[in-house]
Structure 1
């Protein structure tokens, strides 16, 4: 994990409006959200595991699943997950099972981040800052 100080740290947004601003830029809501915190992820690469720019947020007014929730942006970071290969190669997975078991567990949740993608992550954060600060 590589933290990247940002101009958007500490900024507050209506969660719905923030989501509407980030989705067209390629961000998705991260899978590790709860009622009071979550993140937006930008998938940089997925050839050997997944490399993300993750933008965490914390609910400061309301809960994430309620209308009108206000969130505060935390410090963005680059994150790499390496997944097990071949888990599904010889297995039959029915539709019901697939809906619950979509992803394998990471082999290394905090894998080292590939150096060639660090500048990409910083450029993506610059783009995000421009979009949110100038909004």
Structure 2
């Protein structure tokens, strides 16, 4: 499921600041990055089911591991994990309302914090 109209996809963010904001909100970068892409996941565990809110981005300047790298964010996704196949993001998936509400809240907070730091820091 895509979270449209979050305004996150309109931001280019310094990777160091982005890492700090996402970590503060409970997202994990873990090993899901390479020199050109990042993926932040927020894991939900409800009634023996696992869901992931995923915020992805790609480098538009510098590299991901560089403190000066700049990341263009993409439209956030929500998916359900199926063992052993992985995460499915299809529009036909059903998500608990609590997961949808928490996801929307996290994305709103992320966008607000990114917009705030973007006003004060020249990228």
TM-score tier after normalising by the smaller chain length? 0.7 to 0.9
Q: 1:12 to 1:110 in 2, by over 3 A?
A: same
The one-character-per-residue Cα deviations of 1:2-33 (angstroms, maximum 9, x if unpaired) are: 00121121311110111112211111105432
**Unaligned ranges ≥5, structure 1:** 84-105
Partners in 1 of 2:107 and 2:44 — Cα distance?
A: 12
1:45 aligns with 45
Identify unmatched segments of 5+ residues in structure 2: 118-123
Give the SS at the match of 1:26. Answer: coil
Matched residues in 2 for 1:66 and 1:134: separation?
A: 22
Aligned residues: 112
Runs of 4+ deviating beyond 2 Å: 30-34, 44-50, 106-109, 111-116
Larger Rg: 1
Q: Which moved more, 1:38-47 or 1:5-14?
A: 38-47
CA displacement at 1:46 relative to structure 2: 5.8
Residue 63 of structure 2 corresponds to residue 63 of structure 1? yes
**TM (normalized to structure 2)?**
0.77
The residue aligned with 1:86 is none
1:109 match:
87
Measure, in 2, the Cα distance between the counterparts of 1:113 and 1:30.
Answer: 27
CA separation of 1:113 and 1:58: change in aligned 2, threshold 3 A:
farther
The structure-2 alpha-carbon separation of the partners of 1:27 and 1:63, relative to structure 1 and needing over 3 Å to count, comes to same
